[in-house]
């Protein structure tokens, strides 16, 4: 029976909004936002959308009017009472009141700042400027809107059953992965797929399928809205934007060299336990670990987000051992370019030697590879990064030179300051 009121209501929508909540974002964004709100609230930043997959001509695929409508809709959002209650009342990583009263009062009043949108060479130039704690919250909605508008554009002319079979095939792909992964003893895996998802509903489906299929091996999702709606753990710690902005704000090479550790010293003052996860690759992992103060070796774990993951984990193990730590007490979180084969391989290599966890992104929530002609739904590499802070350009080196960002002369300077030599390039697919 059709619910007439529902149908009429649905017809009244001017658009079908892609992002319907300020907490349809990654948990670590909120953690970092609070950190920035407390420590660097007045820094002015610029975030820019960067499509590394230039063959995907987004501006040809996605209508500018639709994109503006979706972005405008995000600007109309504010934290709902239930969302605020969830953030204030929930236990995150075993801790109550993770988000303080002052931050929550601010967040409840927040509207996202304006955006700047232009077309150039078949791509959108989408930038956000303003105070860091506000602008940083644009990253995830901007990415998920563009990903989903691209999906919609490709799906537009498909028949009803053709569409159902497309999703049937995609569901089957996800479930085949579940069937592989659930044979792994001691697996721990979370969804990190918000930013590159095919669509919100699809991410929601994938996450629930993982929960049913993996049981206790599924540890939660980085997506706060899904975590709230589905009563799951919200997962995440921190990201490159903190050291990138902190570094950009320094005036001397010595201060620059110290910046990544300053970030983590601040983090240590705020968080303990499983939130003390080092992200070492912003300016190259080897130099970061070699120069790290000893208190960092006492942290819970490390997240490996670029370069060859096995090498990264071996280096981390060797580093902990060199600092007198037992790697078996330590957590290694793999979060870069994961798919089932890679998860199985890393799980086999490191299980029992360290505690292992996987933050699975694009190939969980956007594996439509091979499902439509010309692979027009294949995931692609879209990012939204801090490119400037208080008028100075940011730099990211990463452990993969193909992921490096920033003006050439600044990249050279950072490489010198952080002692980064030759790096092996790894193709950035997603």
User: Which residue ranges make up the site for its own copies (CB under 8 A)?
Assistant: 1, 3, 5-6, 9, 159-162, 164-165, 167-169, 171-172, 174-175, 208-209, 212-213
- Of residues 3 and 185, the one with the C-beta less far from its own copies: 3
- Which residue, 65 or 216, has its beta carbon nearer to its own copies? 216
| Shortest separation between residue 5's beta carbon and its own copies, angstroms | 8
- 130 contact partners, CB below 8 Å, separation of at least 6: 44, 45, 113, 114
Residue 105: how many other CB atoms lie within 10 Å: 10
Q: How far apart are CA 283 and CA 260, in angstroms?
A: 9
Q: CB-wise, 373 or 421, nearer to its own copies?
A: 373
| Min separation Cβ 157 and its own copies, Å | 13
| Residue 179 Cβ vs its own copies, minimum distance, rounded to whole Å | 9
For residues 353 and 327, the answer to whether their CB atoms sit within 8 Å is yes
Residue with Cβ nearer its own copies (3 or 121): 3
Beta carbon of residue 375, minimum distance to its own copies (angstroms, whole number): 17
**Alpha-carbon gap, residue 241 to 395, rounded angstroms:** 10
Task: Give the nearest distance from C-beta 171 to its own copies in angstroms.
Answer: 4
Q: Which is nearer to its own copies, 249 or 376 (CB)?
A: 376
Minimum CB separation of residue 1 from its own copies in Å reads 5
CB 213 to its own copies: min, Å: 6
Q: For residue 32, which of 139, 105, 112, 144 has the smallest C-alpha distance?
A: 139
Q: How far is the CB of 210 from its own copies (least distance, A)?
A: 9
Least distance between its own copies and beta carbon 43 (Å): 43
> Given the complex with its own copies, which of 165 and 254 has the nearer CB atom?
165
Nearer to its own copies, 2 or 408 (CB): 2
**CA 185, CA 181: separation in Å to the nearest integer?**
9
Question: Based on CB atoms, which residue is closest to its own copies, 65 or 159?
Answer: 159
Which of 29/198 has CB closer to its own copies? 198
């Amino acid at each position: 029976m059709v619910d007439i009121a529902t149908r009429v209501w649905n017809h009244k929508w001017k658009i079908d909004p892609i992002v319907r909540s300020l907490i349809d974002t990654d948990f670590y964004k909120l953690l970092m936002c609070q950190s920035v709100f407390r420590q660097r609230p007045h820094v002015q930043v610029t975030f820019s959308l960067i499509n590394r997959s230039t063959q995907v001509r987004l501006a040809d695929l996605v209508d500018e009017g639709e994109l503006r409508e979706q972005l405008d809709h995000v600007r109309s959002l504010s934290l709902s009472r239930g969302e605020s209650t969830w953030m204030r009342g929930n236990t995150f990583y075993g801790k109550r009141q993770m988000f303080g009263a002052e931050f929550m009062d601010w967040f409840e009043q927040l509207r996202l700042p304006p955006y700047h949108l232009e077309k150039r060479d078949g791509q959108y130039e989408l930038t956000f400027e303003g105070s860091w704690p506000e602008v940083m919250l644009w990253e995830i909605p901007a990415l998920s809107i563009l990903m989903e508008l691209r999906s919609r554009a490709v799906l537009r002319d498909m028949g009803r059953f053709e569409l159902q079979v497309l999703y049937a095939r995609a569901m089957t792909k996800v479930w085949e992965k579940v069937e592989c992964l659930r044979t792994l003893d001691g697996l721990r895996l979370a969804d990190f797929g918000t930013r590159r998802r095919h669509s919100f509903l699809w991410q929601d489906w994938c996450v629930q399928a993982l929960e049913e299929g993996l049981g206790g091996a599924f540890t939660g999702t980085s997506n706060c809205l899904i975590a709230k709606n589905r009563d799951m753990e919200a997962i995440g710690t921190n990201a490159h934007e903190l050291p990138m902005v902190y570094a950009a704000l320094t005036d001397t090479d010595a201060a620059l060299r110290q910046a990544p550790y300053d970030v983590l010293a601040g983090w240590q003052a705020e968080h303990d336990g499983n939130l003390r996860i080092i992200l070492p690759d912003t300016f190259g992992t080897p130099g970061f670990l070699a120069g790290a103060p000893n208190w960092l070796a006492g942290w819970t774990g490390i997240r490996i987000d670029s370069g060859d993951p096995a090498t990264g984990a071996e280096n981390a193990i060797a580093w902990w051992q060199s600092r007198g730590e037992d790697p078996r007490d330590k957590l290694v979180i793999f979060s870069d370019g994961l798919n089932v084969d890679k998860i199985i391989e890393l799980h086999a290599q490191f299980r029992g030697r360290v505690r292992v966890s996987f933050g699975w992104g694009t190939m969980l929530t956007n594996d439509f590879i091979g499902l439509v002609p010309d692979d027009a739904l294949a995931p692609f590499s879209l990012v939204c990064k801090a490119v400037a802070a208080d008028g100075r350009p940011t730099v990211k080196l990463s452990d993969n030179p193909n992921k490096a960002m920033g003006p050439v002369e600044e990249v050279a300077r950072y490489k010198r300051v952080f002692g980064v030599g030759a790096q092996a390039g790894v193709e950035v697919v997603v």
